[in-house]
């Protein structure tokens, strides 16, 4: 259901996809790591989906699943730096061939003079903008450190994408492992309300975050 009658609103920017990739990877049981050069020439913030049944079902990168008896089926993570995108996929069901679709965005303040190749010809859908669809409207983006509170004032809990910086790998990874409570002795790292996003100082927090808030 659309949130408003005007589905395409030029008052808000639409995400500028600077990188698209579609392909396959072979999974063996256990941890699988793949490095994919993106060629953008700047830091990108990636998202993606994957499937092992030819898109009958899909999984978002950044999630995990437990099967019967609480045993782990898989975990999946996606990260990137200014040169490469890295997939880390722990698969405990057996071996499989996974099809992947990845995309990446940039922070506009980091790339004022960057020229990238058009991504529209890489899409399976030649109709890139369809006014029948309610596109996420990029309301606010920026960087935050632990102890920062961002006031968005939307009056409802918005859709938010967050990437966290890993100082060990020097990459930004899709942040999807927040407990939103207490787990393993750690408190939540990000608190999202109808008016704010709070990046906490709790133990285990990343040193830096990049967020995109959608209205």
For residue range 119-148, list pLDDT tens digits in order. 666 666 666 677 777 778 899 999 999 999
Give residue 1's pLDDT. 40
Establish if 147 belongs to a structural domain. yes
Establish if 60 belongs to a structural domain. yes
Q: What is the pLDDT of residues 188-207, one digit of tens each?
A: 899 889 999 999 998 888 99
Distances from the Cα of 80 to the Cα of 174, 183, 190, 197, angstroms: 9, 27, 21, 24
- The pTM is what? 0.86
Establish if 110 belongs to a structural domain. no
Determine the average pLDDT of the residues in 20-33.
96
State how many domains the chain has.
2
CA–CA separation, 150 vs 71, rounded Å?
Answer: 37
Last residue of a domain, one of 105, 128, 159: 105
Encode 138-152: b = buried (16+ Cβ within 10 Å), e = exposed: bbbbeebebebebeb
Establish if 131 belongs to a structural domain. no
Residue 147's domain comprises: 138-214
Give residue 4's pLDDT. 55
Say yes or no: 23 and 77 in one domain: yes
Establish if 44 belongs to a structural domain. yes
Establish if 119 belongs to a structural domain. no
CA–CA separation, 165 vs 207, rounded Å?
Answer: 7
pLDDT at 3 exceeding the cut of 60: no
Which positions ≥6 away from 109 have C-beta within 8 Å? none
Determine the average pLDDT of the residues in 92-117.
85
Say yes or no: 151 and 210 in one domain: yes
CA–CA separation, 66 vs 39, rounded Å?
Answer: 35
Say yes or no: 101 and 142 in one domain: no
- How crowded is the C-beta side of 186, counted as CA atoms within 13 Å? 16
């Amino acid at each position: 259901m659309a949130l408003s009658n005007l589905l395409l609103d030029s008052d808000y920017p639409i995400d500028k996809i600077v990188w698209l990739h579609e392909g396959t990877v072979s999974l063996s049981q256990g941890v699988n790591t793949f490095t994919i050069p993106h060629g953008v020439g700047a830091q990108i913030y990636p998202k993606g989906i994957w499937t092992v049944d030819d898109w009958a079902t899909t999984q978002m990168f950044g999630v995990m699943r437990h099967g019967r008896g609480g045993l782990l089926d898989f975990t999946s993570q996606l990260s990137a730096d200014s040169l490469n995108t890295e997939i880390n996929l722990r698969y405990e069901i057996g071996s499989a061939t996974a099809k992947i679709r990845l995309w990446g965005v940039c922070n506009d303040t980091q790339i004022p003079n960057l020229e990238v190749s058009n991504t529209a010809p890489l899409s399976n859908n030649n109709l890139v903008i369809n006014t029948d669809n309610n596109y996420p409207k990029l309301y606010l983006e920026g960087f935050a450190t632990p102890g920062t509170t961002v006031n968005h004032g939307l009056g409802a809990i918005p859709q938010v994408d967050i990437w966290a910086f890993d100082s060990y790998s020097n990459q930004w990874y899709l942040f999807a492992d927040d407990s939103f409570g207490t787990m393993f002795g750690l408190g939540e790292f990000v608190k999202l309300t109808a008016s704010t996003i709070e990046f906490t100082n709790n133990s285990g927090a990343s040193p830096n975050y990049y967020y995109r808030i959608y209205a």
